[in-house]
């Protein structure tokens, strides 16, 4: 029997605006987090605000990604001048 591998759906630790839910979905789907946030905003208006409740539920239910799995963004991207 073969084991199937899957990507876990987790809230982002590093690329979050509020709870990391949209960034977690963006990472899972392989899209830009800004695009996921815009799509979420449009769908929130289209559903009459029902996705606000869904966001709160996902914030509670989705686990946060482990600290080791978070990508390490450089704190100083420009090397110091010598």
Residue 75 has a pLDDT of 58
Domain span at residue 46? Answer: 21-61
Nearest to 66 by CA among 8, 19, 4, 17: 8
Residue 78 has a pLDDT of 63
Half-sphere exposure of 68 (CA within 13 A, CB side): 0
Mind giving me the DSSP string for 46-63?
A: HTTTHHHHHHHHHHHHSP
Range in 2-6, 45-49, 71-75 the model is least confident about: 71-75
Residue 15 has a pLDDT of 79
- Residue 82 located in a structural domain: no
pTM of the model: 0.67
- Residue 1 located in a structural domain: no
* pLDDT at residue 69 tops 70: no
Domain total in the chain: 1
Question: Which SS3 state, helix, strand or coil, does residue 43 take?
Answer: helix
Question: Which SS3 state, helix, strand or coil, does residue 64 take?
Answer: strand
* pLDDT at residue 20 tops 90: no
């Amino acid at each position: 029997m073969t084991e199937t591998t899957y990507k876990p759906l987790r809230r982002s630790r590093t690329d979050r605006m509020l709870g990391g839910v949209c960034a977690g979905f963006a990472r899972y789907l392989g899209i830009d987090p800004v695009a996921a946030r815009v799509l979420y905003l449009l769908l929130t208006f289209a559903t009459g605000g029902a996705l606000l409740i869904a966001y709160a539920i996902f914030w509670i239910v989705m686990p946060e990604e482990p600290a080791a799995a978070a990508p390490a963004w450089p704190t100083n991207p420009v090397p110091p001048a010598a």
